[in-house]
């Protein structure tokens, strides 16, 4: 597989999962985009979830001007500094969907970042809340449901907060990968 093939597969998985989560996400609770980058996935999320509060965390905002979040929804700085005060202000367990796309080519650093972020995200997600991520996380109150989405192992990671009653079973949904993976 060429690097181009690999990039296309990863972006396809990312888009399919964002679409899948947008259909499944609870009607209440804000959304987090961790890592604005070019703004591509933020643009996709706001298109799929019109009217939804989407907070974006980015240390060096440089997205296309049309993909910049509105005032009050872009939290600039290292997310390890901005997230704790955000959580204090918003309160725990009020987030319905997190998308984390913050990886680098340094796998050791990626693992360390995921381990440090895990307790923060675990506390943010509401019951039934979803985390889509470009890497594995260690979330004590969440189940790894990647296999239920049909996304091939290791391509993207999906977690769901499990300590709830009566929310829809993810496995009843059409797999995210049905269209193109």
Q: How far is the CB of 160 from ligand SAM (least distance, A)?
A: 21
Binding residue (CB under 6 A) for ligand SAM from 54, 56, 98, 102: 102
Task: Name the residue nearer to ligand SAM (CB basis): 19 or 164.
Answer: 19
Question: Smaller CB distance to ligand SAM: residue 39 or 129?
Answer: 39
Of residues 1-20, those binding ligand SAM (CB under 6 A) = none
Helix ranges, 102-150 (H): 107-124, 146-149
Report whether 170 contacts 97 (CB < 8 A). Answer: no
Count CA within 13 A, CB hemisphere, residue 147.
2
Q: How far is the C-alpha of 83 from the C-alpha of 78, rounded, in Å?
A: 8
Judged by beta carbon, residue 127 or residue 135, the one nearer ligand SAM is 135
Q: How many CB atoms lie within 10 A of CB 82?
A: 16
Over the window 47 to 86, marking each residue x when it contacts ligand SAM by CB under 6 A and - when it does not, the resulting string is ----------xxxx-----------------xxx------
- Return the number of other C-beta atoms located less than 10 Å from residue 162's C-beta: 15
Task: Kindly identify the residues of this chain, within the stretch 26-45, that bind ligand SAM according to CB under 6 A.
Answer: 35-41
Task: Report the C-alpha gap between 21 and 67 in whole angstroms.
Answer: 20
Tokens of 181: 């993976």
8 A C-beta contact, residue 137 and residue 157: yes
Query: How far apart are CB 54 and ligand SAM at their closest, in Å?
Result: 12
Smaller CB separation from ligand SAM, 99 or 128? 99
Binding site for ligand SAM (CB under 6 A): 35-41, 57-60, 78-80, 101-102
């Amino acid at each position: 597989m060429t690097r181009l093939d690999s990039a296309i597969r990863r972006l396809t998985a990312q888009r399919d999962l964002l679409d899948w989560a947008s259909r499944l996400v609870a009607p209440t609770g804000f959304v987090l985009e961790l890592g604005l980058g070019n703004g591509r996935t933020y643009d996709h999320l706001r298109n799929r979830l019109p009217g939804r509060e989407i907070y974006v965390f980015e240390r060096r905002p440089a997205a296309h001007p049309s993909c910049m979040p509105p005032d009050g929804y872009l939290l600039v700085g290292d997310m390890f500094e901005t997230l704790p005060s955000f959580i204090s202000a918003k309160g725990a367990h009020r987030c319905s969907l997190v998308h984390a796309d913050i990886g680098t080519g340094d796998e050791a650093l990626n693992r360390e970042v995921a381990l440090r972020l895990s307790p923060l995200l675990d506390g943010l997600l509401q019951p039934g809340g979803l985390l889509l991520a470009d890497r594995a996380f260690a979330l004590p109150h969440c189940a790894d449901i990647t296999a239920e989405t049909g996304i091939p192992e290791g391509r993207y990671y999906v977690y769901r907060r499990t300590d709830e009653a009566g929310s829809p079973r993810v496995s009843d949904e059409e797999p995210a990968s049905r269209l193109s993976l």
